[in-house]
Structure 1
């Protein structure tokens, strides 16, 4: 009996200590995210962009920031393994810091598909309405997307921007032969982009297919304002138009050759209504494509970093924003294929087809009438 008690106590201690270590590691990750956010927003990484080793005073002067804050940030970044130190034994004010080239691509190269600095921006944004989220947990209500503010809206937009500009129209859509042919053909194809966010998906399609016209729709007014600015800056506002509209609006009409929904169906309070609109807009000749998170086929507690990440965003952002409108399907970020299949059939589609598009984070579906 005593031996069994000792074994249980040892097991308890091991699990406790392992959890403590993991929790401390998570807190370190939290602080790293916020420090990356500061480096991104204040231009500190871009100040180091030429890979020159700078002192805290030099970087502060280059970025218009305060030396003492910059010095502490540089030391934290070096200890966190983000920056390199030329000589850590040098006097504090003479110590020089460098941004490694591999890290520079991730933190400052906006055109790279490996650009992840906006991930820190989105992570900060998703934590913004914590008091409202706590209240929603108690009441069963939700947190409107607008309450998450600019950081989440633009962070997610910038995070997906390279995929939409450099992969969507150059790799992913060309891998679907009939859709690719129609987007290249005359008369010019019309595309409806539902839940278009800050507009990069619509802009990316228009850049890759110079003849098409794209109408982007999103319920968030601030996102549409950003999308219009982005299209104008890209010189595409004559072919890309954005409008504040709910995807499930029964008055939304038109005839489109392609209807898309990129990473937004799981956010809809009424995804069946949104998909019903998409089916109506595509008619009998158009095609419907949905891109959403590459979740597992079923729930499992097996170690999976991507699902851990998705559940974090779901608890903090996607589920609360979907529940801000009632009644709500309350899908959450982890919309598994069977869930989308159920929604699609309720919307009048015959079935969904998982397309052979290779992406670690997203899965592409074709919805068939």
Structure 2
């Protein structure tokens, strides 16, 4: 039974978390308006100077700067100076986290993610009552956060795939390997693989037309569009065959019918082909209270991953917390002979090979 101290501790916790949520919304503003990047690239600034650099209103920027300094995210040269002449700077140690989207430690994308999650809450309340799915979020105004972009460009093909010797060998050998990236999103996994393995060709598939359009533009800008293509198609309906490797990265738990999707993927494989599934790093069994990372995945499951999979009468309703035993069951039902967990270490993701 809880005590009075427990009651106060919970009240204090929620107050701290409210402050943290509001801080994330100010990070959203900094990311969307380019405020962090302007400080990182052009150096310290007064509120008027930063407003001039970013095409924003000085009074809004001044309040944002003061909040960021009060929160310890920015430095200020003289707290006693008049507001208009105070100069603010982004500490060098914070640049990778707030202003460099190519760094694996970049976290300013959280502002976009949390803002988008909050935008659908009224519809989610109704979905809880009906059991249906809330309407999909529009792509605009900010698009989806590309939180996995630096992970893919820095780790996927430079560290993770080379750690799987049989896959690495096939991607480097003749005849050139054919890959499919199912639920490819904005295309960064396929792009990263194409850059690291210049002989392969890759087809990316996704249901989101906006994501596929972004993926095509990203591939063109990255200079790999001659070997990487993207199409809007349901994985369960794919008819292509002969793929040496199919990847499903951070997506299987979102699919309404994962067994059907895996059956379709299995049919796409060449005789010696295999499937790489990368999904959330969750505990093997339910525990409570849980670790911070388990709570993080559960929060996204409640707010986004599970709701997105509802609305289908035959949905598996997996949610973000897809435990290894659940994946193994899906794979077995789809006709795979084995699921092999891989010893690749990551703070958020777990890796599996599915053997036909």
The answer to whether TM tops 0.5 is yes
Separation of aligned partners in 1, 2:44 and 2:141: 30
Structure 2 contact 205–230 (Cα < 8 Å) conserved: yes
SS at match of 1:349: coil
Contact kept in structure 1, 2:282 and 2:321, CA below 8 Å: yes
Deviations 1:131-173 (A, max 9, x none): 22111100000125x4253478520xx2100111111111111
1:261-302 alpha-carbon deviations (Å, 9 max, x no partner) = 000000000000111111111143101100000001111113
- Counterparts of 2:117 and 2:185, CA distance in 1: 16
What SS is found at the alignment partner of 1:90?
coil
Report if the CA contact (8 A) 1:125-1:150 is conserved. Answer: no
Which position in structure 2 is the counterpart of 1:147?
137
| Structural mapping, 1:140-179, within 5 Å | 140-144=131-135, 146-147=136-137, 149-150=139-140, 154-155=144-145, 158-179=146-167
Select the residue among 81, 87, 93 that pairs with 1:90: 81
- Structure 2: distance between partners of 1:245 and 1:236: 21
Contact 1:198 1:223 (8 Å CA) reproduced: yes
Alignment of 1:22-61 (within 5 A): 22-50=13-41, 52-61=43-52
**C-alpha distance in 2 between matches for 1:365 and 1:38:** 37
Most deviating of 48-57 and 283-292: 48-57
**1:326 Cα deviation after fit:** 2.8
Distance in 2 separating the partners of 1:238 and 1:42: 34
Q: 1:193 aligns with which of 169, 173, 181?
A: 181
Secondary structure at the counterpart of residue 363 of structure 1: strand
Contact 1:118-1:159 at 8 Å conserved across structures? yes
The aligned runs of 1:75-114 (5 Å cut-off) are 75-114=66-105
Go from structure 1 to structure 2 and tell me whether the alpha carbon gap of 1:190 and 1:327 turns closer, same or farther (over 3 Å shift). same
- Contact kept, 8 Å, 1:228 with 1:242, in 2: the verdict is yes
> Aligned match of 1:276 in 251, 263, 267?
263
Matching residue within 223, 243, 246 for 2:231? 243
SS of the residue corresponding to residue 147 of structure 2 reads helix
Is this contact kept in 2: 1:196–1:202, CA < 8 A? yes
Quick one: which of 125, 133, 145 aligns to 2:116?
Answer: 125
Q: Does 1:234 align with 2:225?
A: no
Distance 1:41 1:225, change over 3 A: same
Provide the residue aligned with 2:126 in structure 1: 135
1:221 maps onto 2:235 in alignment: no
TM-score (norm 2): 0.97
Does residue 350 of structure 2 align to residue 350 of structure 1? Answer: no
Distance in 2 separating the partners of 1:326 and 1:242 = 29
| Structure 1 unaligned residues grouped into runs of 5+ | 1-7
- Give the structure 2 partner of residue 210 of structure 1: 198
Alignment of 1:233-312 (within 5 A): 233-249=221-237, 251-312=238-299
Alignment partner, residue 12 of structure 1: 3
Structure 2 unaligned spans of 5+? none
- Displacement of 1:78: 1.0
Question: In structure 1, what is the Cα distance between the partners aligned to 2:49 and 2:323?
Answer: 50
